[in-house]
Structure 1
Amino acid sequence: MAKAEDVKVKPRSKRAKRILEKREPKLVEEVKTALLLHGNKTSQITKDVLTDIHKLKFREALKLSRKNDDMRPFEPGGETHLEHLARKADCGMFVLDSHSKKRPHNLILGRFFDHRLYDLLELGVEKYRGIREFAAASASVQAGNKPCFAFVGEQFESDPDFRQAKSMLLDLFRGRLVENINLKGVDHVMFVAALDRKLLFRPYAIRFKKSGTKIPRVELAEMGPQLDLALRRTQPAGPELEREAMKRAVTTKKKVKNVSRDNLEGKVGRMYVPRQEVDTMPLRKMKGLKRERQQTAAAAKVDKKQRSEGAPTVAE
């Protein structure tokens, strides 16, 4: 018997058809929408952190207000309801907050592949200052603009847990992938430093000041949220799921005959021209040849007239 998620749903309206087409796999995937939700027990600190993440993500996040008792992603079977919500809301990742005596002020970050749980990262909030405490700096940042990222620390290259944390933070805050961007569109920096087993998360607002030249003077002002995050638990993707997620679609272009590419000359083509029969080809008469024939004809006419009158010709 087929599972409920394996059954293909037929749209009953044009709007439903557009929604299903939007959720279909694409060669270039769109930005991941984050699902922000609460666990069974939460604290005011983790609630404020989710609110600040929602402000930074703007329209690329969906925040739910109800508590969820059956969401324990690290336990077997605890991801079922989470995957159901992700499939329903079409979200690519999630941030779940919880609070307990063993793990106080806890944040769980995770990603999905094909609406299945891919990997997990658990962080503990040890220090927090919200965006509301940096209202002057955060007011200059426009929602939807692209951030710069600065990851400081050799752990982001050597430690697999820190590499996973870097990848998740990039997916969470980078926004839409673009080829070109205006200088005014980059108005904040995400600064993340690795210290022991902690992540120091510091967003800064970029301010362009007058410098007397065409290049402005750049200043940074902390905009919040200021977070000290302790790295607790991680769960990497399974080998089979990772192999499936890393597959790339084969894009085969239709081959054009007699056209190739050269590293120096670029696009090179070969043209085939049939043999031209010049002898039998009706060529266009040039004006110069036409004038020459007219002069020859006029001279012959004068010569004939002189012969008829008995006058000596030019040849004589």
Structure 2
Amino acid sequence: MVAAIRVPKTQRARRELLKHAPKLVETGKKTLILHGTKTSAVLNSVLSDIYHLKRDNAVKYTKKNDNIRPFESGGESSLEFFSLKTDCSLIVYGSHSKKRPNNLILGRTYDHHIYDLVEVGVENYKSMESYVYDKKLAPKLGSKPFFAFIGEHFESAEELKHLKEVLLDLFRGEVVENLNLAGVDRIYVCTATSPTTVYMMHCALCLKRSGTSIPRMELVEVGPSMDLVVRRHRLPVESLKKEAMKTADHAKKVKNVTKDPVQGRLGKVYMPDQQVGKLALSNDIKGLKRERREAKKNKEHSKKQKVNPE
């Protein structure tokens, strides 16, 4: 039996559906954090730290989910359901088993369908609570991070190329046009130690006096830090990728109009050659129309006076 499609009947319901629909220009992505059937203490701490770093734009479920198998056919329907329910386009799913200990799956969705997946194992993990530092350096809500990807494997290994894209999408936050440098107060440093392993650490940026107008920058590790070992990854389907990569049409170019960073918008106006001593008058001038109307009325009035003398 096929379920009937519910059509919105009010304008408010239509507006809500449009909010959940995919857009050509995305300004920010919400993250959904889920637990598997079984998780370890290390994995619980990893998910908590990710939620803390994304707490301004994330949804976390602590209940265990039994029927989620992202890399198996039919096992991703629950992920798509939760993505639709919470309007999240980024997914972080943690599970633990003897075959794949401390397993972390990072995924993206498009139109609430699974777009791509990266499965990594977490090793040598250090939580944010294990670091001692000035609490003023803790990441603030709305702050933007820097990213540093070190190692040639990010350009040569297909797995790390894919992981780099997903990590950038996961931690970059809301897309903005103008940026205040005071809000860029942290950095993620990712070092490729092998074609399948990335050492990731999170640091705060401290500006120190240098005796010049340019301050000296120091890094203070605030956690978390971990080794991410790529186990499996699934690239997007070509048709879905083509649909997701659509961009907005460029504005129609206006002739003879340019933009200057100093003077702003500039335009060229072309005028015909003018001859000195001659003035071309148009018949559409309002003053001439008024004069013609008055002259016509005076002429008609004079005719009436001649025909009907007193």
TM range (shorter): 0.7 to 0.9
1:69 to 66, 69, 79: 66
Q: Which of 89, 100, 104 does residue 103 from structure 1 map onto?
A: 100
Deviations 1:152-207 (A, max 9, x none): 11111111110000000000001112233222111111000111221101111111
Q: Classify 1:280/1:162 alpha carbon distance in 2 versus 1 (closer, same or farther; 3 Å).
A: closer
1:205 touches 1:223 (CA, 8 Å); kept in 2? yes
- TM-score (norm: length of structure 1): 0.79
1:247-286 matches, within 5 Å, as: 247-253=246-252, 256=254, 259-261=256-258, 267-272=266-271, 278-279=277-278
**1:13 Cα shift?**
6.8
Partner of 2:229: 230
Contact 2:26 2:175 in 1 (8 A): no
Q: Judging changes above 3 Å, is the alpha-carbon distance between structure 1 residues 271 and 42 closer, same or farther for their aligned structure 2 residues?
A: same
Amino acid at match of 1:237: P
CA distance in 1, matches of 2:51, 2:25: 25
- 1:179 aligns with 177
Aligned partners of 2:276, 2:6: CA distance in 1, in Å? 64
Name the structure 1 match of 2:148. Answer: 150
1:204 paired with 2:203, answer: yes
Q: Deviations over 1:194-238 (max 9, x none)?
A: 112211011111111222332222111101001111111111111
- Provide structure 2 residue ranges, at least 5 long, that are not aligned to the other structure: 282-310
Following the alignment from structure 1 to structure 2, what is the Cα–Cα distance between the partners of residues 272 and 121?
Answer: 63
The letter of the residue matching 1:178 is: V
Q: What is residue 245 of structure 2 aligned with on the other side? A: 246
What's 1:163 paired with? 161
* 3-state SS of paired residue (2:26): coil
Instruction: Determine if contact 2:30/2:88 at 8 Å carries over to the other structure.
Output: yes
How much does 1:281 deviate?
A: 7.5
Q: CA, structure 1 residues 275+249, in 2 after alignment: closer, same or farther (shift >3 Å)?
A: same
**For the residues of structure 2 that align with 1:155 and 1:3, how far apart are their CA atoms?**
48
1:47 aligned onto 2:44: yes
Aligned residue-pair number: 277
The residue type equivalent to 1:36 in the other structure is I
Report the TM-score when normalising by structure 2. 0.80
Q: Aligned-pair RMSD on alpha carbons? A: 2.8
Give me the whole-angstrom Cα distance separating, in 2, the residues matched to 1:160 and 1:42. 28
2:87 equivalent to 1:90: yes
Q: Is the 8 A contact 2:36 2:93 kept in 1?
A: yes
Task: Show CA shifts across 1:77-128 (max 9, x none).
Answer: 0011110110111111100000000000100000001111011100101111
Matched-pair contact (CA < 8 Å) for 2:154–2:164: yes
Q: Encode CA deviations 1:246-268: one digit per residue, 9 max, x unaligned.
A: 22232443x64x534499x9844
Deviation at 1:3, TM superposition (A): 7.0
